[in-house]
Amino acid sequence: MPEQEFTATVVGAGPAGLMAAEVLATAGVDVTVYDQMPSAGRKLLLAGRGGLNITHSEPLEAFLERYGSARARLADVVADFGPSDLRDWCVGLDEPTFVGSSGRVFPESFRSTPLLRAWLRRLDSQGVKLRVRHRWRGFATGENGGPDGTRSLFTDADGSTVEVRADVTIMALGGASWPRTGSDGGWVAELVRCGVDVAPLRPANCGVRVGWTEEFAERFAGVPLKNVAVGVGTPTVRGDAMVTKSGLEGGPVYAGSSDVRASLDLGDSCTLSVDLSPDLSIDRLAERLRQCRRPKDSISTWLRKGRLAPVAVALMRECTGNQIPDDPERVARLAKLVPVAVVDLMPIDRAISTAGGVTFDEIDSSFMLRRVPAVFVAGEMLDWEAPTGGYLLQASFSTAVAAARGAIAMLFD
């Protein structure tokens, strides 16, 4: 007598959904992946636009600290399928990885396209079926009047409602950043209707809005602040920031966005501190400014001679109401701590990732929803956040593996 063949519906063809599909298919489950977009992996392709930073090489304990308040909930799953496992997985797709100078890990091709193509070929060889242009609409109503996690409802390309039955469902629909890739947060209302607690989706790893004067915005939008340090209170994260017409963008700004959000949520004003010369102490910068000053120099000329770029000088003027002191030590102190008043975070559709999602209290140790049996949740749908640097993709992959293994255990145990 043949063994029973189990079926799985995976909702979402991003990194988490495709990884869950692979783990399920490897275990012999008949898997179909549904996505509302015309093709799979669009968010992975967008993430690799400037080089696919797939994970990070730092020690695991330091790695886990990047998940902040969600560290305890993610520690085991990241340990079970961690950076070394993900790198081995890439090798299996003939995409070996390398460690960059910052410790970030990239495929040797540096791009996401070859990896995604190889991955989709492997999934196809495993019998995984892909159904695109299918938007998830919720679950059918069960005999007890509640949601039936084995019956998913979709709207297809023709606008018709399609009911799909499967033994288990993996949900990997992402957050609400990059909506053009399909991650638009449309699933939230349906899960809330099922009684699932979903923390509001908020922008993370995003820029900040600043009330620039029109003159500053017009002149310096698109000009980078090179090699600065940025932080809330104390400038700690170094890199390049970019002035935009409405605020500041860039890696060191994104790293502080969770602190900015926390401050604004408390109703407090928020000031982003910018160190324009992180390689110099106040004393050394003051000495440089003292030595290069000439009696007839304007303040702008003097500061440019002190190796402060025009955009840096303009930022100092902008953030002090054009009240730059003429004393070298006071100028040095200002340059080391320029106070940029933040109005708000950039909108969620301009964020790299999102905070919020299905709270961890709503899932059991196997990542199954307590309120909707046979439904497992993975990736950015869950309530965690992390900085850029490979931590976002790693946790998406790790939670997908955990959710798929949880589903397998339910099916086969």
229-288 pLDDT, tens digit per residue, is 999 988 889 999 999 999 999 999 999 999 999 999 988 789 999 999 999 999 999 999
Q: Beta-carbon neighbour count of residue 214 at 10 Å?
A: 8
Parallel, antiparallel, or unpaired: how do β-strands 375-377 and 168-171 relate?
parallel
Q: What pLDDT, on the 0 to 100 scale, is given for residue 3?
A: 61
Parallel, antiparallel, or unpaired: how do β-strands 7-11 and 30-34 relate?
parallel
- Domains of the chain: residue spans and CATH: 7-203+351-412 (3.50.50.60), 208-345 (no CATH)
Sign of CA dihedral 168, 174, 176, 182: negative
pLDDT lower than 50: segments of the chain: 1-2
Residue 351 and residue 208: Cα distance in Å, rounded?
10
Q: What pLDDT, on the 0 to 100 scale, is given for residue 1?
A: 31
Residue 360 and residue 376: Cα distance in Å, rounded?
12
Residue 38 and residue 35: Cα distance in Å, rounded?
8
Percent of the chain at pLDDT above 70? Answer: 99
Whole-number Cα distances in Å, 174 to 145, 185, 310: 28, 7, 41
Tokens representing residue 27 in the block:
């275990």
329-352 pLDDT, tens digit per residue, is 999 999 999 999 999 999 999 999
Give the global pTM.
0.92
Phi-psi region of 31 (alpha: psi -120 to 50; beta: other; left: phi over 0): beta
Residue 170 · residue 20 · CB < 8 Å: yes
**Ordered strands of the 375-377 beta sheet:** 129-131, 30-34, 7-11, 168-171, 375-377
Q: What pLDDT, on the 0 to 100 scale, is given for residue 2?
A: 40
Residue 144 and residue 267: Cα distance in Å, rounded?
44
